[in-house]
Structure 1
Amino acid sequence: MQTLIKQMNADNISRLIKNCAVVFCLITAGTALHAQVSTTLKPITKITPGTVWKDTNGEVIEAHGGGIMQQGNIYYWYGENHAKGEGNKTGISCYSSKDLLNWHNEGVVLPKEALPVAFRDSGACERPKVIYNDRTKKYVMWMHLVARGHLEADAGIAVADQPAGPFKYLYKTRPIRYNYGYRGGSARTYVGDPEEETKGNTFRDMTLFKDSDNKAYVIYASEDNATMYISLLNADYEAIATPAVLNKTWVRALPGAFREAPAVFKADGWYYMFTSGTTGWKPNPAKVYRAKTMLGKWEDMGNPCAGDEQQTSFRSQPTCVIPAPGRSAGNFIYMGDRWVGEALAQSTYVWLPFSVPADGNIRLQFYKEWSF
């Protein structure tokens, strides 16, 4: 009996030693794997325009045609998710960051299923922009909804209680109804949507701008892309101010200029607007306009891009402009998309720093990499 007990003890000790060895191997392997992941996901310290940008999980950032809203010390980047290709096959994604370099994926904050059927899959939900309403405590998103080859070209509005959503879709609209000559005559130099007369004027590439006095504006390409419209929003930012009165609550900016992709910001008492031409996915020369008031007259300041590829805006299209963190007033970051039209999932981002000189003549230069 004593011999049997000794043998059992010996077996248990042997088994314990083997188990400890296995545990040690697992811990060692886990430590090595953790070290490998940590090396792969080390923090980003520089921006490299036009290259693949990954989030803190090592996944490619999907936030095209996007905009950034800052709330406290956190930045939120909203944009189109094209991981599954062209069309609204996923919805609107959101990423958060404290340094504009390393982005955490907050997920899809407005899924395609939240929108009318026409704007899912083969339709599109483009250029989402979000601003915060201090009175209602709501985060308000406007977007461009498109279907039927742009015959459906509407604004979509959604709201959320938190910056990372979820956002609740409210409705779609064409905010302005104005006869600019689509019935014919000398004023008509282009063919617009045949439904404009009853539905309102087309709503295409857009952005939002919230001023220092908390007044907010929607800026969008209309009249079949020929003219930029700028309209004051109402107190809750969920619709335009009514009644809509031309040159009082809204203006036809840049009439007949055929500009799109507006990105608006303010510097030294002037309002500035980056725009692109209307060449689809193909890049073209950017133009900057400026005005003393949002609803005032906008003057053409020319192509801001300097150096090589200035005629393609460094192969990008503007989508947003934000103040440069940690820098003095007058320093900004240009945000653009380098579209790959035949494979949208391969599109990248072109972010570049710039400053606004006293004469307002902005010069945007390309850098292979740069840091704050």
Structure 2
Amino acid sequence: MAKMKGVQLFRDEVGNVAQLHGIGVLCVGSTWYAYGERKNEGRLFQGVACYSTNDFVHWRAHGDALAMDAGKGFLGAGRVVERPRVLCCPSSGRYVMYLHVEGGDDYSFAHIGFALSDSPTGPFELFETVQFHGNESRDIGVFQDDDGTGYLLSEDRQHGTHVYRLSPDYLSIVEDVVCLKGTDYWAGYESPVMLKSNGLYYWFGSELTGWDCNDNRYATASDLHGPWSRWRPFAPLGTRTFDSQCDAIVPIDSRCDAGGGVDDKTESSDMQRFLYIGDRWSPDDLGGSPLVTLPIEIGDGHARLQWHDEWDNGL
């Protein structure tokens, strides 16, 4: 079993801080690949780093999956490129990376970037940036359904947060499935995360509070088109999601009552345990910003995140 802390810095095999800010996670076989924003030199684009792990404790560095462009393109210095997310397309076997891409550093371009590779470690090549039907796109997330259909979640400040259905090759958007704002909240949710458990969709997100944290929320539905439930917190109110912003929720093939160092029991055997990973942004040291890594219990339409100083993830 792999022992984790409630908040920590992931480090690679030689002890360097893993640059996994705005982390996206992809499982390939028994290996997880993680992608993150390099933040060693501040908030502007420095490349998308790639690491792999089998237990979320020991990490191997693979360099940049998406490198910075020495020219003046969207991947050049002075740009904003955030939230790397990768899916493997079932029909082609190729890997597609999705990004929040800005033309400069003022967040006015607000496009979705598509990059492509034959390997999960890259190199990825950016080939297009889009705004579907002219909608702005900032924070993004991805989701692959049981039938292999791919979806892209995209926060659009004007309308809310969209769930877009991808084409069979994952290289374009073909449908705006649903667009939601929060319950009693003026906007959609950024840093969107989606998963499916026992036939029910769970959608997680964070309110718009900049580098500061808030009580993140989730909603559920049996169909992506809706109806969706009210948005509600999954961590104790006032903890600001234990001072974090949700980034990834990863199934770790362990039930909440199967030991693994998590003693809190749920009332239903249908609750399953996932790994929650959230950014705890440190604006004055973005490259050294730690991650909150906690077990989250999900099932029966409920999600519950509780604090543990240390816990075994069962891997």
TM-score range, shorter chain: 0.7 to 0.9
Aligned partner of 2:196 in structure 1 is: 266
Say yes or no: does 1:152 pair with 2:94.
no
Cα distance in 1, alignment partners of residues 219 and 139 from structure 2? 16
Q: Name the residue aligned to 1:6.
A: none
- 1:256-305 per-position Cα deviation (integer Å, ceiling 9, x unaligned): 43321111111111110111110100001111111112232321241110
Q: Secondary structure at the match of 1:121?
A: coil
Matched ranges for 1:98-247 at <5 A: 98-113=54-69, 117-146=73-102, 147-175=104-132, 177=133, 200-224=134-158, 226-241=159-174, 244=175
In 1, are the aligned partners of 2:94 and 2:119 still within 8 Å (CA)? yes
Matching of residues 54-73 of structure 1 within 5 Å: 54-73=11-30
1:320 and 2:262 aligned: no
Q: Higher mean Cα deviation, 200-209 or 120-129?
A: 120-129
The aligned runs of 1:356-371 (5 Å cut-off) are 356-358=298-300, 360-371=301-312
Which one has a larger percent strand, Structure 1 or Structure 2? 2
Matched AA of 1:60: V
Q: In structure 2, the residue corresponding to 1:279 is in which secondary structure? A: coil
CA deviation profile, 1:153-193 (whole Å, cap 9, x unmatched): 11000011011111111111112x2xxxxxxxxxxxxxxxx
Match of 1:85 in 2: 42
SS at 2:312 equivalent: coil
Contact 1:254/1:298 (8 A) holds in 2: no
Q: Report if aligned partners of 1:68, 1:76 keep a CA contact under 8 Å in 2.
A: yes
Q: When the two structures are superposed, what TM-score results if normalisation uses the length of structure 1?
A: 0.75
Q: How far is the alpha carbon of 1:148 from its aligned partner? A: 4.2
Query: Relative to structure 1, is the Cα distance of residues 159 and 71 closer, same or farther in structure 2, using a 3 angstrom cutoff?
Result: same
Instruction: Give the conservation status (yes or no) of the 8 Å contact 2:2–2:312.
Output: yes
Alpha-carbon distance between aligned partners in 1 of 2:90 and 2:189, rounded to the nearest angstrom: 32
Secondary structure of the equivalent of 2:287? helix
1:253 to 180, 204, 218: 180
Describe the shift of the 1:132–1:115 C-alpha distance in structure 2 as closer, same or farther (beyond 3 A): farther
Structure ranking higher on relative contact order (CA contacts 8 Å, 6+ apart): 2
The residue type paired with residue 221 of structure 2 is: A
Amino acid at match of 1:251: V
State the 1:335 CA deviation: 1.2
Contact 1:253 1:297 (C-alpha < 8 Å) held by counterparts: no
**Which has a greater percent of helix?**
1
Hey, what's the Cα distance between the residues in 2 that align with 1:126 and 1:204? Answer: 8
TM-score by length of 2: 0.88
Aligned residue among 288, 293, 312 for 2:218: 288
What secondary structure does 2:196 align onto?
strand
Number of the residue aligned with 1:278: 208
CA distance in 1, matches of 2:37, 2:298: 29
Q: Secondary structure at the match of 1:343?
A: helix
Structure 2, unaligned runs of 5 or more? 257-270
| 1:202 and 1:223 in contact (8 A); partners too | yes
Aligned AA (1:257): A
Q: CA deviation at 1:118?
A: 4.5
Give the superposed CA RMSD.
2.0
* Maintained 8 Å contact 1:86/1:122: no
- CA–CA distance in 2 between the matches of 1:272 and 1:63? 24
What code does the residue aligned with 1:369 have? E
Post-superposition Cα deviations, 1:198-222, rounded to whole Å, max 9, x if no partner, equal: xx11101000100110001000101
The offset of 1:115, in angstroms, is: 8.5
Does residue 76 (structure 1) correspond to residue 33 (structure 2)? The answer is yes
1:317 is aligned with what amino acid? Q
CA distance in 1, matches of 2:275, 2:247: 11
Residue 369 of structure 1, CA deviation: 1.4
List, as ranges, runs of 4+ consecutive aligned residues in structure 1 with deviation greater than 6 Å: none
Alignment of structure 1 residues 305-344 onto 2, 5 Å: 305-306=235-236, 310=239, 312-327=240-255, 330-344=272-286
How many pairs align? Answer: 295
CA distance in 2, matches of 1:223, 1:282: 18
**8 Å contact 1:114–1:169 — kept in the other structure?**
no
Structure 2: how far apart are the matches of 1:213 and 1:161?
A: 22
Give the alignment partner of residue 97 of structure 1, picking from 53, 59, 69: 53
Relative distance call for 1:54 and 1:273 in structure 2 (3 A) is same
Q: Determine whether 1:354 maps to 2:296.
A: yes
Amino acid at match of 1:355: E
Which structure has the larger Rg?
A: 1
With over 3 angstroms needed to count, the CA separation of the structure-2 counterparts of 1:115 and 1:289, relative to structure 1, is: farther
